[in-house]
Structure 1
Amino acid sequence: MWREIEPDQQINVEVDGHNLVVYSFGEGDEVLLCLNGGPGLPCDYLRDAHGWLKDKGLRVVAFDQLGTGASDRPEDPSLWDITRYVAEVETVRQALDLGRVHLLGHSWGGWLAIEYAIYHPHALKTMILENTVGDIPHLSQELERLRGALGSETVAMMQRHEAMGTLDHPQYQAAITLLNYRHVCRLDEWPAPVTRSLGDWNMGPYTTMQGPNEFLYVGNLKNWNRLQEMADFTMPVLITTGQHDELTPACAMRMKMALKDAALHVFPNSSHMPFYEEPHAYFPVLLDFLQRHRG
């Protein structure tokens, strides 16, 4: 299963006059192009979870999105826009001459994958939507339900701090920490690639596009909804999620119902990272899907 390995290639790609760092594992025409979550996270956690799939005959490619990791980190807020990120993905695909790819998007990377598929459907063999959503307003409703499980007094406290802008208060941060361990990663000890990515989080893209934390969406994507456009997708799609995911199974079900050709798998003991929480269940599902759609 997953293990940290050194990439076979590290490639620099110019995007908008800035440098991106791309990591490639393995070789061949069956390319798994990975778009990690965030926004603002280095790709370590997703790259290191999936790089070993080169042993299964796949070429696995991931990259630090602009503003993250080893890539350039400009501070212009106008760059934190999903349309610009779509162009970034296409630039990477063309620069590495990847041809048609299996596009894997996790969390924010799933929103980006969906947006990319709207504009570049012919570049895709398949799409894997991991722990993501197609309708952020619906997600916001689901997050209110998850917050509600903390109890009415805790919710009232959180709403008070959100209204006052005192999100760094220890009370509020304690509630967010509990929600993270329930709905982001349920492991007692988070894997090193996860803590490494989180420790190098660029909050500029994150707060601009999403908001101050995983459970409050107030950024420029707060009204993003592509379920109607997803109805036109013709490529095979695999949707995966965890029973306890912050981006809930109900959100995953909405995507499945919008798509023509989609399979949905819910991992019962996972939250937002089944590839770490239940790797022995997750990877066979992914590999079976990719095997059936090679070529």
Structure 2
Amino acid sequence: MMHEKWVEAAGTRTRYFDIGLGDTVIVFLHGGLFSDEGVCHNALVFEQSLPGFAAAGLRVVAFDALGHGRSAAPTSDADCSVPGLVAHAEAVIGALRLGSVHLAGHDEGGLVGLRLAFKSPQLLRSCVIIAGRAVVPAGDPLSNLTLAAPLQPRYGRAAQAWVLERQSHSQHHIHAGNFLEEAVAIAADDAFRGLRARIEAGDLLRRYMRPSLGRARLDNWKRFREDGVPVPTLLVWGGNDPICPVQNARSLFGLMAAKQRITQLHLIGRAGYLPFREQAPSFNEILGGFVRALEQTRSAKAA
């Protein structure tokens, strides 16, 4: 069972889920860009995958990012940014005393993981980027078209399901589990409405989030060319991703593999932007195999 827990991470009240036992920890971090695309992303987006990892003997932790889900909003407007999200992720790992972890991030969550790998490589045993639109060189013109003219009211059940349908190849997962119910409940919460009003009134995405995305991308390319990613890296993509197509994943793989010897790209058929929900068994097999191989190598070196 997944039961929510709470931790204070650098002063931010943060919701998280923690299941399974063992010394090997995978931390999952969702995307969402402060819900700007119409879905209130939160840690429950990983609900289809987490129990399988726990059953396989791994400890898995998923938390709501700063200003997302049930976690508290940023106290500073400037923290509505990539550095703000990275600092929060680092604080959560520290507050939970997880040691070094495998960090698996979806889209913007993958960018946060990559930036954390550059900033504090001792915290990560690997960086896993899932459907990393925020990381790829090409940006997101397809998502702008795919998600044009959303339903109203914007964060209602039908509108959030509409976005998920257009992001997915296999739609069976949309009404499965508790993710959509939780996303709708979050949208009705006063804390979410207050943050959205603050973001819109202060134009915070234009002033802070989007410029920080651009700066992070530019710095990523520089680091890819010069020193590479300092930890083993796994890219996982849906083979039918309508938001960030696989040719972008291949381009990203080429950039990252040039300097980091342990870089893998895996495509999952019949899956779109949410492969860990659309094809959870395949996703778990890929990520679990990658992590187990790294842990075996780590143990052999320590012996």
Output the TM-score relative to the length of structure 1.
0.76
Q: Which amino acid aligns with 2:237?
A: T
CA distance in 1, matches of 2:112, 2:199: 14
* Aligned pair partner of 1:252 in 249, 257, 269: 249
Residue 167 of structure 2 is aligned to residue 183 of structure 1: yes
Partner of 2:99: 99
Instruction: Give the ranges of 4+ consecutive aligned residues of structure 1 lying more than 6 Å apart after TM superposition.
Output: 167-170, 174-179, 205-211
State, as a whole percentage, how many aligned pairs show the same letter. 22
Local SS of the residue matching 2:49: helix
Local SS of the residue matching 1:139: coil
Contact 1:256/1:263, CA 8 A, preserved across alignment:
yes
Contact 1:25/1:61, CA 8 A, preserved across alignment:
yes
Partner of 2:7: 12
- Aligned pairs for 1:201-280 (under 5 A) are 201=187, 202=192, 204=196, 219-221=210-212, 223=214, 224-225=216-217, 226-231=220-225, 232-245=228-241, 246-259=243-256, 260=260, 261-280=262-281
- Structure 1: runs of 5 or more not aligned: 151-157, 162-166, 212-217
- What is the root-mean-square deviation in Å for CA atoms of aligned residues? 3.3
CA distance in 2, matches of 1:278, 1:184: 11
Residue 28 of structure 2 is aligned to residue 34 of structure 1: yes
- Aligned pairs for 1:76-115 (under 5 A) are 77-115=77-115
- Structure 2: runs of 5 or more not aligned: 35-40, 299-303
Decide whether aligned partners of structure 1 residues 274 and 57 sit closer, same or farther in structure 2, where only a CA change above 3 A counts. Answer: same
Decide whether aligned partners of structure 1 residues 193 and 83 sit closer, same or farther in structure 2, where only a CA change above 3 A counts. Answer: same
Task: Map Cα deviations across residues 120-155 of structure 1 (whole Å, 9 max, x no partner).
Answer: 1121111111111364661234446x65xx9xxxxx
CA distance in 2, matches of 1:47, 1:280: 12
CA distance in 2, matches of 1:168, 1:6: 31
CA distance in 2, matches of 1:175, 1:71: 23
CA distance in 2, matches of 1:206, 1:286: 35
Contact 2:240/2:271, CA 8 A, preserved across alignment:
yes
Task: Map Cα deviations across residues 241-274 of structure 1 (whole Å, 9 max, x no partner).
Answer: 1122112212211221111231111112000111
CA distance in 2, matches of 1:101, 1:238: 14
Please identify, of 191-200 and 61-70, the stretch whose mean Cα deviation from structure 2 is larger.
Answer: 191-200
Displacement of 1:89:
1.2
Displacement of 1:197:
4.5
Please identify, of 256-265 and 202-211, the stretch whose mean Cα deviation from structure 2 is larger.
Answer: 202-211
Local SS of the residue matching 2:28: strand
CA distance in 2, matches of 1:119, 1:75: 22
